[in-house]
């Protein structure tokens, strides 16, 4: 195996499209880099919050959102490099144990945005094993279309926290850019979720 050849064969764009096909009103957080382009390629939505920076933070943003919105399903889709930078989140999420949170890593085993250098998962680091050991309700690694179908059947309905690492090929796709102004993404997400979010914002005035 060359240094940049993934152990996965699935196509990342097809995987993300299938993951999102059944999302209903689920809220989506994506990590910086390819998973944001993947989600944008499927279709931009107000209930998508793309994290264009803060590497390692996507899963924790998902946790804060899941705790604030326990009636809504929250899906985090991020890359293996982004997840590796925030591995402590596995422990923190497992302890909080939100039933409505699913975290999916699109694992191509390389840092796609910086020149396809291999990540630790390329050398065998097992993200699903780490999530399971931390105490996630369920955790799996997806290698085949059949595995993916099984994951998609439970992604929004099974009791969380759920973790899945989906092994995809190293093929690169067109970069599809969603909106990238952070304040805009924040405001439109809150408006879609909360309505007129600013209306009640003085409720907590302390003076």
Partner 1 sequence: MTDDAQIGEYPRWPEEIFGVLCDAEVTQVAYVPDAGHARLIELCQANGSMRSVALTTEEEGVALLAGAWLGGARGVLLTQSSGVGNCINMLSIVQECRFPLLVIVTMRGEWGEFNPWQVPMGQSVSDALGNAGVIVHPVDAADEIADTVAAAAELAFNAFRAVAVSISQRVIGSKVWK
**According to the binding rule CB under 8 A, does residue 190 interact with partner 1?**
yes
Cβ atoms within 10 Å, residue 156: 19
d(CA 96, CA 160): 11
The answer to whether residue 177 forms part of the interface with partner 1 (CB under 8 A) is no
Binding test (CB under 8 A) with partner 1, winner from 23, 44, 54, 170: 54
Q: Which is nearer to partner 1, 27 or 41 (CB)?
A: 27
Binding segment for partner 1 (CB under 8 A), chosen from 33-41, 67-75, 116-124, 155-163, is 67-75
How many binding residues for partner 1 (CB under 8 A)? 44
Q: Which stretch binds partner 1 (CB under 8 A): 1-9, 14-22, 116-124, 178-186?
A: 178-186
Return d(Cα 75, Cα 66) in angstroms, integer.
Answer: 9
Closest to partner 1 by CB, 21 vs 204, is 204
The answer to whether residue 52 forms part of the interface with partner 1 (CB under 8 A) is: yes
Distance CA 66, CA 58 (A): 12
Give the containing element (helix H, strand E) for 190. helix 182-194
Asked if 26 interacts with partner 1 (CB under 8 A), we say no
- Kindly state whether residue 96 participates in binding partner 1, applying the rule CB under 8 A: yes
Which residue, chain included where needed, has tokens 């923190």?
92
* Interface with partner 1 in residues 116-175 (CB under 8 A): none
The minimum distance between CB 6 and partner 1, in angstroms, equals 27
Q: Which is nearer to partner 1, 91 or 152 (CB)?
A: 91
Strand partners, 78: 105
Binding test (CB under 8 A) with partner 1, winner from 10, 19, 20, 65: 65
- By residue count, the chain amounts to 207
Q: Is residue 10 a contact partner of residue 145, using CB atoms and an 8 Å limit?
A: yes
Q: Summarize as ranges the residues that interact with partner 1 (CB under 8 A).
A: 27, 29, 49, 51-58, 60-69, 86, 88-89, 91-92, 95-96, 182-183, 185-186, 189-190, 193-194, 197, 201-207
């Amino acid at each position: 195996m060359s240094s940049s050849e993934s152990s996965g064969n699935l196509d990342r764009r097809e995987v993300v499209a299938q993951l999102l096909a059944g999302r209903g009103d689920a809220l989506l957080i994506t990590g910086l880099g390819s998973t944001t382009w993947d989600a944008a390629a499927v279709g931009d939505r107000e209930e998508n919050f793309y994290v264009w920076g803060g590497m390692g933070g996507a899963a924790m943003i998902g946790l804060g959102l899941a705790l604030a919105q326990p009636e809504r399903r929250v899906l985090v889709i991020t890359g293996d490099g982004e997840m590796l930078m925030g591995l402590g989140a596995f422990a923190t999420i497992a302890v909080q144990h939100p039933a409505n949170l699913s975290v999916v890593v699109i694992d191509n085993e390389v840092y796609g945005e910086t020149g396809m250098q291999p990540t630790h998962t390329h050398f065998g680091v097992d993200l699903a094993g780490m999530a399971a050991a931390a105490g996630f309700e369920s955790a799996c690694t997806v290698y085949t279309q059949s595995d993916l179908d099984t994951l998609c059947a439970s992604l929004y309905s099974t009791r969380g926290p759920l973790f899945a690492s989906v092994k995809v090929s190293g093929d690169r796709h067109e970069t599809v850019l969603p909106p990238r102004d952070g304040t805009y993404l924040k405001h439109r997400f809150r408006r879609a979720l909360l309505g007129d979010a600013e209306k009640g914002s003085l409720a907590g005035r302390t003076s």
